[in-house]
A and B are shown apart, each in its own frame.
Chain A
Amino acid sequence: MAKRALVLEDSRTQATIICKMFQKAGCDAVWVQDPASAHEALKAGQFDLLVLDVFIEGYNTLDHLSSFRELAGNVPIAVMTAGRIDDPESGADALNKARRGRVNFLLPKPFYFDDIKQICEDVDAYWQAHTSQAIAS
């Protein structure tokens, strides 16, 4: 059974590209355009991966990771980051926030299909390990 990814991305073009890549990698992708819709989708459905864009208009996802983590439970979170040449420290800042928010995967933009494929493989491995642990206990 294919894994399901919830993708939060405000750009329709980017969402199309990302969802196509996940589908090609064997993962069904559900797209939401704003954080409120992402929260609703997380409450309503079961997902195997949560993919978050960082800069949504007037909103920095990295500053709200705790709310996503709370709703996602033990679902792995991937964050799509973009480097800022006007602020060299922003990369370090993003990494630290991601670590504190217990983010599992970082996807620095621009990323390629191979990066998505690797994340899908890692997500498979994560859930396999998770299931094994559940059975063992």
Chain B
Amino acid sequence: MSAVDATRPAFAADILGMFDPELLRMTAVSEELLELLDGFFSRLDRHASDEMVGIARDIAQTRSELRRLCPNQIGDSLPQAGAELDAITRDTETATNTILSAAEALMDLDEADPGMKDKADDLVMRIFEACSFQDLVGQRVSKVVRVLEQIESRIARLSEIGGGGDAAAEVDAAEQRRRDLLLNGPAVGGPETSQAKVDAYFN
């Protein structure tokens, strides 16, 4: 490193000679530092640029996958599934009321009435009729299950695209309280708490 460049014209040396040599040395050091930094930043920019291109590619791929998942179809299915569940509730309630009314009427039949057998037969037939709701409920439940399976498979694909596995679900305070109080409805295949356990609490 030299404070004065030999290739410079003589008048330049005269001018430079007017400055403090220490200042000139610092200027030269600064120039070298600037060159170093320039190289560093150009490498940094290229790296960042590559990263940005990669992110843009991922976003484009995700968007294309999302289009293929047809979210609009799920949007159409959900209200339909809701309507099916409403119908199940309505059908079940109607059938239960019919069965209960017929059972009550059966209990009120007069043994001394000569027409009791026919009346009982008619009431039993009403119970049979009411029980036929089971077939339609089965079909409605199948439709809802199909919609849920559709949503499940699409969410699974979305999760794959995002590259994420199943993260542990966070439980908020309300959900934790529901779980603590066992108010999360009947368990599949049986009650949440066995009858033996319930009996044990009281013994």
Contacts and interface: CB of A to CB of B under 8 A. Distances in A.
Given A11-B138, A85-B80, A86-B143, A24 B121 contact: yes
Interface in B87-120: 87
Nearest to B146: A86
Given A21-B128, A24-B125, A112-B129, A85 B83 contact: yes
Nearest to A80: B135
Interface in A82-98: 82, 84-86
Interface centre among A11, A13, A20, A110 (most CB of B within 10 A): A110
B87 to A, nearest CB: 8
A113 interface: yes
Contacts, number: 44
Is chain B's binding surface mostly helix, strand, loop or mixed?
A: helix
Contacts of A24: 121, 125
Interface residues of B, number: 17
A17 B136 contact: no
Interface in B128-143: 128-129, 131-136, 138-139, 143
A17 B139 CA distance: 17
A111 interface: yes
Interface centre among B131, B133, B135, B143 (most CB of A within 10 A): B135
A109 B129 contact: no
A87 B165 CA distance: 37
Contacts of B129: 17, 21, 110, 112-113
B125 A86 contact: no
A17 B131 CA distance: 7
Contacts of B84: 85
A59 to B, nearest CB: 15
Interface string A1-45: 000000000010110010011001000000000000000000000
| Nearest 9 interchain pairs by C-beta | A14-B135, A113-B125, A17-B128, A110-B132, A112-B129, A17-B132, A20-B128, A13-B134, A17-B131
